[in-house]
Every structure is written in C-alpha cells, then in structure tokens.
Amino acid sequence: MVGGGPGDPELITVRGRRLLARADVVVVDRLAPRDLLDELPPHVEIVDAAKIPYGRAAAQDVINRTLIEHATAGRFVVRLKGGDPYVFGRGFEELLACAEAKVPVTVVPGITSAFSAPAVADVPVTHRGVAHEVVVVSGHVPPGDERSLVDWEALGRMSGTVVLMMGVERIGLFADALVAAGRPGDTPVAVIQDGTTPAQFVVRSTLATIASDAAEAGIRPPAVTVIGPVAGLAPEQA
C-alpha cells in the first residue's frame, strides 16, 4: 500500500517508487500521480479504482476484493493512493480486509496534500507565534449532518489552523459554521487547487468572502483549504 504523494510524481517516497517498479498489478486512485504509471513495463496490469466525486465510483468492497484476488493469485500488488493512505484515504479499511483474508500488507506512508499543497503555495500550516495547533478535517459531509463526527463548535473556539479536505463544494457552509462558532469573519483563508502540479491555483480570501471568491475563481476539487492566521502570511515578492 503506497502513498503516492500530493500529485507531483517526484514527491513519491524512494521506497514507494522502488516497490511500484516491482508491481505485477497496480490498483490506482484518481488522485494518485498517474504519470508514474507511464514508467511501468507493458506487462503490468493497471486497475482503475478512481473515486470521482459525484460521478463514477468504485465501491470499496470491490476494491478490497480486487486487491485480495490478485494477491492470492500470487501477483505482487501495489495499491497506489494519492497523498498518504491513512489520511482520509480509506487505507486502513483496505488493510483490515487484506488481514482478514490472510494477505500480508506493507504500508508505505506518503506525503499528505493536507500539508504539502499549502507548503508549495507559501502557506505554512504552523508558524512560530501564530499557530500552535493544526486540525485536519474531512469535508465530505456538511456541518449538522447526522453522519458528521466533527465538533464545529470546538473548531470555532480554537485560534490555530484548520485544514479542510474535500470541502470545496460546501465551503460556504463550513465557513458559516466556523463564524457561528466564534471565528471572526476576517479570518484568512487560502484554497489551493491541484497543489504541487503544473495546474496549481490559489485563492486567498477570508471566512466571510471565501464562498463567493472560490465560486468566482471557479475552484474545483481536488483542493485543500487552509483556515486561520497562517493563511494570511505570505513572503514579500521581489
């Protein structure tokens, strides 16, 4: 199980790249660095396990079954994921399924886009004297949804950094929830779309205006949203 990093194919780990080169089968996500597949020998079977938001999706049990079937057939299987497999990547679900089927798994951590995408956009998620805490939050369900496990009231009271993943479609709802819970409307926000890739695009705004600014800029997934004073920091340009 290999974390492919945030998008730039050069940001996969050395170990991840070495194991990928040994693969007989690669089961790959949409957000994994697809350019790495071009380096594979012709005999390697590529299985597309893309999870496209609001579109075609490979059910998790189908992915689990695919991994197990190929592995038990004696093939060297690489599950190539974007970012880090255990940061909202369902990696541990797949490990548990393999463990139940007696399939041994090696986990290769990856560089998560939660921190690396902001970094390449000159947004530090911590900074001395500015932020002493970072919370990474999944935005796949909105505030108030009965499925949500996020304490938005607590996030509104804290003064540090909130990194919001998978939150583009509902960015206005998340911003409103934080303001309602106590965050000032002028709290800086930075949204980084397609971080670390040639298509990278950044919008800087505030909680009060991010919904309209993101819509005007045409921000689409995948994007990482950084909320907090660190999002207002920027190096001086020569």
Where among 52, 79, 100 does a domain terminate?
A: 100
Residues constituting the chain: 238
* pLDDT 10s digits, 117-163: 999 999 999 999 999 999 999 999 999 999 999 999 999 999 999 99
Q: What is the pTM of this model?
A: 0.93
Q: Give tens-digit pLDDT for 65-119.
A: 999 999 999 999 999 999 999 999 999 999 999 999 999 999 999 999 999 999 9
Beta bridge partners of 15: none
117 with 73, same domain: the answer is no
Q: Kind of pairing, strands 223-227 and 201-206?
A: unpaired
How many separate domains does the chain show? 2
pLDDT of residue 59: 84
Say yes or no: 125 and 20 in one domain.
no
Q: Which CATH number belongs to the domain containing residue 58 in this structure?
A: 3.40.1010.10
What is the model's pLDDT at position 54? 45
* CA angle, 143 then 109 then 57, to 5°: 50
Residue 114: per-residue pLDDT: 98
Q: Strand order of the sheet with strand 2-3?
A: 2-3, 77-81, 25-28, 45-48
Which CATH number does the domain housing residue 177 bear? 3.30.950.10
pLDDT value of residue 52: 41
Q: Which domain holds residue 90?
A: 2-100
Enzyme catalytic residues: 29, 51, 166
